[in-house]
A and B are shown apart, each in its own frame.
Chain A
Amino acid sequence: AQSVAQPEDQVNVAEGNPLTVKCTYSVSGNPYLFWYVQYPNRGLQFLLKYITGDNLVKGSYGFEAEFNKSQTSFHLKKPSALVSDSALYFCAVRDSKGGYQKVTFGIGTKLQVIP
């Protein structure tokens, strides 16, 4: 069975500082990994994905994520946080051996960027 863990309920970072939101996963095949962001009272929006290739993936709004196969991690990063980045972030995984595109989401990490 596939699973995703987001170990931090909340991450606080000062504006202008780098941010990291952590994600680890478990799959039986190869992982397809996603990050989504949810602003208050909105649906989820896609940020970036890893399928294969370069371990560093760049996405929307200056976000990037690093895939680490040995640590089974896919941490979301941004070099300089903005107050407008404050939102709920979800990591998600799909197993390459999954037969029906089932995607498993983590419980979410609330990012608070402090002015």
Chain B
Amino acid sequence: NAGVTQTPKFQVLKTGQSMTLQCAQDMNHNSMYWYRQDPGMGLRLIYYSASEGTTDKGEVPNGYNVSRLNKREFSLRLESAAPSQTSVYFCASMSGVEVVNEQFFGPGTRLTVL
């Protein structure tokens, strides 16, 4: 049981380049989330998917797109990277819809945009 996995662990991009961050969970969770973590700002929600086939914007969605490929996988795409997107990105998942459950987090992807 791997939990939530993310690839890659580290990435350096040049301004304007694109990339996709991959996330997968093996816990059969319905909900999946993408956060970014910046010093002094905590975790901010980028996008979330309440269930397979649905995605919605979070607090800071500009410059990002997401795909809920299936129940297991939720990817985050940067179409044209900017230095302001330098951050640590975390994927999380959570079971259930009506019950109040905790989130399970992946190990993170450290992204630097030059």
Residues of A within 8 A of B (CB): 32, 34, 36, 41-46, 49, 51, 90, 94, 100-103, 105-108
Contact = CB atoms under 8 A, between A and B. Distances in A.
B31 A107 contact: no
Given A43-B4, A44-B90, A103 B42 contact: no
B43 A105 contact: yes
Contacts of B105: 36, 43-45
Interface of B, secondary structure class, is strand
Interface of B: 4, 31, 35, 40-45, 48, 50, 56, 58, 90, 92, 94, 97, 100, 102-108
Given A32-B100, A43-B90, A101 B43 contact: no
B52 to A, nearest CB: 15
Contacts of B50: 100-101
B94 A101 contact: yes
Nearest to B90: A43
A105 B40 CA distance: 12
Contacts of B92: 43-44
A103 B41 contact: no
